Chain A
Amino acid sequence: MHMNRLAAVAAAVTLVAGCSSGGAQQSAAPSSSAAQNAQNAQKVALTYWNWVPGMDKVVAVWNTAHPDIQVTSSTQAGGDDSATKFLTAAKAGNPPDLVQAEYQALPSFVAAEAVADIKTAADPVKAQFSEGIWGLVTLGTDAVYGIPQDSGPMLLYYREDLFKKYGIAVPKTWQEYADAARAVHAKDSKVYLGTFSSKDPGSFAGLAQQAGGQWWSISGEAWKVAINDEPSKKLADYWGGLVKEGVIDNMPYFTPEWNKALNDGKLLTWPSAIWAPGPLSTNAPKAKGKWAIAQLPQWNAGENFSGFWGGSAVSVSAGSKNKEAAAKFATWLNSDPEALALLVKEGSVYPAATKGADLLSEPPAYFSNIPDFWKQAAGFGAGARGFTFGPNVNVAYNAFKDAFDKAALNKTSFSGALQSVQDATVADMTKSGFKLAQ
């Protein structure tokens, strides 16, 4: 138990990939696998679990061009549930061939030996992705556990009209953001500059990345967990202070209450990711055309940092009988210009591939007031830095929701809440048998 699972997995997967090409490694049917392989050589059927809107149409294009590799896309519920479901299916020996893996869920897939190393197929397209994003699918190892599909660099969304009304300037630093929050709330006690959501650890993780946090890292054979590192503590106390002062609201994002506040102009900013036009257009349709974007406020004036919120890769299941074909499809889907164009058009995906940005010319309808929305957004998000996610992000995120819920409600110390997230995460990893560096 006390060994580095990640390294062990990498070795095992490499071995398997080395000795058989796309061979069935399910122990259930060793005698029939040869016959199956012979059949598979002619025609391959792949299943693909994802929650990208319009994926059926993208897959149809591939299926027409590749009669020998037919992919069936199956729409699943997104997020944490999907990760749990995939892990259960993998454990039962019944996984889909391809799966959409959120970056923060991928390490848990790797630790459970549920996804395959597809280095051979992935290497030729490596150059099409930025180093930071590629690190999210290699987890700092030599293996490649998926092809990046979309990413969510963060920027600041703000109500241009209401900024004018309340006479505040776009904050360049978090200090200015705090001052603006006080100024706005002093002018109208019903209006807040923003809100701290204790229900969205992904957003907090993105801001921690911007601040320079490194929640997980692999050092040699062991994991290092530092959710309570200095940058993250600073970040927690910053928001905790504003919530305690009462100048920042603490309603969670994506709730009816939040939707209403956005519609009514009671919330003036949203530090969010590049995909925000999607949720804004459905949750705050009344504010269409009134928002503008800016760089995320910085911790030190003159810096140029951002973080990532969201984003996912396409991984090949370790239990798939047709790994090679699946890897081929995953590579095509996320690097071929035609596929990328369809992902952008049908799925409103912000492609992770660097050339994907060129495909986005028309601004989203919600931001028709900013003709060069994508160019601006890409510029503001260019300084985004990520960090390695650990194998139990779900545990950490649940601990975050519990601890910060309480802290926001009782207006107690946010860095104390962060400490309890760290403790819960470390305790879970110890219990699961991961080796931890001190």
Chain B
Amino acid sequence: MSVSRRGVRARSAYTYGPLGLVPTGVLLVGAVYCLFPVSWVVIAATKTSGELFSTSTFTPGTGFFQNLADLAAYREGVFWLWMLNTLLYAGGGALLSTAVSAVSGYTLAKYRFAGRNLIFNILIGGILVPAVVLAIPQYLLFAKVGLADTYWSVLLPQILHPYSIYLARVYAGAAIPDSLLEAGRIDGASHWTLLTRVALPLMGPGMVTIFLFQFVAIWNNFLLPFIMLGDDGKFPLTVGLYTMLAAGANHPSLYNLILIGTFLALIPLIALFLTMQRFWRTDLSSGAVKA
């Protein structure tokens, strides 16, 4: 009796029973749901402005290279400047944010000091405040200290990210054994050595997660740079493409340039995910084992 029941359980776990296909189906529907708009962008980016509204949605167009050339020529290639700006904001911001989060998370997880829980609770509260709400107060503050309309005005507010610190704390708590730190201390390692030689290498996968989260968040951020920046030479892609869309009713909207621009803006994100994916996989599995 007990043997046969175990047999059934084993079969349903390792082979495809009638219910085994359901999760796959749900995931497939989810994948289609997520990829449908992306595929629309890819197809629409190939259409000339004449084809955009007259051919059916998923018929590829003939204007891909023309669109590309037009975009490159638009205002003497300002699109590439926006792309570089976005890379600077997202790359620089995510790096700085990861560094700050890792150190703070490690400290909060592994050091006992007065006010530790208070700080952590305030951070948890910070997660609940949407960044959108903070954009205008931040602008007014930056304007007061003369930093509005600078690269720093977009970078600085995105460096301190409560959710990343929270993630880093949870990860550090699980990934760094106290015994390892104690062994280091007995060997005479300073706090700095412990951080750089013991803690950070163990937190690698967690830091990759934070980096990716922040990179994507900053890449997609619209409101903060929209409010902070006045100089169109400092715009990131989101704000730049928006100026092409909202060019006023009396000027033609540059739909095909915007679409090809959106398409190009996707590529670095996809490339980043493909290259960073293996770190992320390690992260998920190690988290599962150690939790």
Contact = CB atoms under 8 A, between A and B. Distances in A.
A283 B231 contact: no
A312 B247 CA distance: 13
A262 to B, nearest CB: 8
A282 B243 contact: no
A175 interface: no
B41 to A, nearest CB: 14
Interface residues of B, number: 33
B183 to A, nearest CB: 53
A77 B243 contact: yes
Interface string A293-328: 000000000000000011010000000000000000
Nearest to A281: B252
Size class of A's contact patch?
35 or more
B243 A92 contact: no
Interface centre among A78, A259, A283, A312, by most chain B C-beta atoms within 10 angstroms, is: A78
A142 interface: no
Contacts of A74: 230-233
Contacts of B148: 89, 92, 94
Nearest to A84: B227
B243 A76 contact: yes
A79 interface: yes
B50 A78 contact: no
B38 interface: no
Contacts of B245: 77
A133 to B, nearest CB: 15
Given A51-B248, A81-B246, A259 B53 contact: yes
A88 B136 contact: yes
Nearest to B78: A75
B185 to A, nearest CB: 49
Nearest to A100: B248
B140 interface: yes
Nearest to B135: A88
Interface in A17-55: 47, 49, 51-53
Q: Is the interface of B mostly helix, strand, loop or mixed?
A: helix
Interface in A55-106: 56, 72, 74-79, 81-82, 85, 88-89, 91-94, 96
B249 to A, nearest CB: 6
B142 to A, nearest CB: 8
Interface string B124-161: 00000000000010011001100011000000000000
B136 A152 contact: no
Contacts of A263: 53-54
A190 interface: no
A47 B248 CA distance: 20
A50 to B, nearest CB: 10
Interface in B213-247: 226-227, 230-233, 239, 242-243, 245-247
A264 B53 CA distance: 9
Contacts of A285: 49-50, 54
Given A96-B230, A282-B255, A79 B248 contact: yes
A150 interface: yes
A82 B53 CA distance: 28
A61 B248 CA distance: 24
Contacts of B233: 74
Contacts of B149: 94
A355 interface: no
A53 B148 CA distance: 25
B62 interface: no
Contacts of B250: 150, 152, 273, 275, 278-279, 310, 348-350
A249 to B, nearest CB: 16
B54 A286 contact: yes
Contacts of A283: 53, 252-253
Interface of B: 49-50, 52-54, 75, 136, 139-140, 143-144, 148-149, 226-227, 230-233, 239, 242-243, 245-255
Q: Return the 7 tightest CB-CB contacts between A and B, nearest first.
A: A275-B250, A92-B143, A78-B248, A282-B252, A77-B246, A259-B53, A94-B143
9 contacts: A51-B251, A56-B75, A77-B243, A89-B143, A92-B139, A92-B144, A256-B53, A259-B52, A278-B251
